[in-house]
Amino acid sequence: MKDKLIKILNGLLVEYNNTLHNNPNLIEGIDICASRIISIIQEHYFEFIEWIGNESIEFLTNDETEKREWILYERNSMVKYQVFETSGDLFNYWLEQKSKITMIPVTSSQIKSIGYDSGTLYIEFNKGTVYTYSNVPEGHYKALITPDHSVGQYFVNHIKGKYDFIKTDKIVTNNEIK
């Protein structure tokens, strides 16, 4: 893990130096790289590094073409899954993946699917509206997706009126909330 982290930080430095080399009089180039690094460190450093540690990611430089790329391989294989030109692209991909909530379809006359992330329960109703409920224990989510009882009845008895909620403008596509 330590070697991988060093390689990733070296990749960030290469990008930083490349930006300076290609834009010696352009302060914005410095600001872009610095902002990216600061953003990673301040907001998501440990999560991002943990994700990188669990994925097959490599930073490569082609000395002949000076092309640099970040490669994400399929898990447990050496098949290229996606190639990124910058660490910022890789970071943005991670943020996008991180923000997707998988919605589990359920059998109910009122509720179409249910998702959960860090205390937030997502309920998609059959009419297409999505509500988020705050500070909901994960046990309620697990009970809702367990098919041994009425989803609607469990919702009414344990969630509705007991947790703060908002109607969102989020939509569910391919069982993911966006």
- On whether both 40 and 77 belong to a single domain, the answer is yes
Domain count, the chain: 2
Domain boundary among 45, 64, 99: 99
Domain of 26, in residue numbers: 2-99
Three-point CA angle 4, 51, 142, nearest 5°: 155
Inform me whether the pLDDT recorded for 106 exceeds 90: yes
Best-predicted range by mean pLDDT (27-31, 83-87, 165-169): 165-169
pLDDT at residue 128, rounded to an integer: 84
CA 45/CA 43 separation, integer angstroms:
6
Query: Beta-carbon neighbour count of residue 46 at 10 Å?
Result: 8
- On whether both 112 and 168 belong to a single domain, the answer is yes
* Residue range 55-68: mean pLDDT, rounded: 72
70, 83 contact by CB (below 8 A): yes
pLDDT at residue 177, rounded to an integer: 65
- On whether both 107 and 132 belong to a single domain, the answer is yes
- On whether both 120 and 76 belong to a single domain, the answer is no
Q: Could you tell me which residues come within 8 angstroms of residue 109 by beta carbon, excluding any fewer than 6 positions away? A: 126, 152
- On whether both 58 and 71 belong to a single domain, the answer is yes
- On whether both 12 and 74 belong to a single domain, the answer is yes
pLDDT at residue 125, rounded to an integer: 92
pLDDT at residue 2, rounded to an integer: 47
Q: Could you tell me which residues come within 8 angstroms of residue 97 by beta carbon, excluding any fewer than 6 positions away? A: none
Angstrom distances, CA of residue 94 to CA of 50, 97, 103: 11, 5, 19
Domain boundary among 99, 133, 149: 99
* Residue range 146-163: mean pLDDT, rounded: 92
- What is the torsional sign of CA 133, 137, 140, 143? positive
Domain boundary among 99, 119, 152: 99
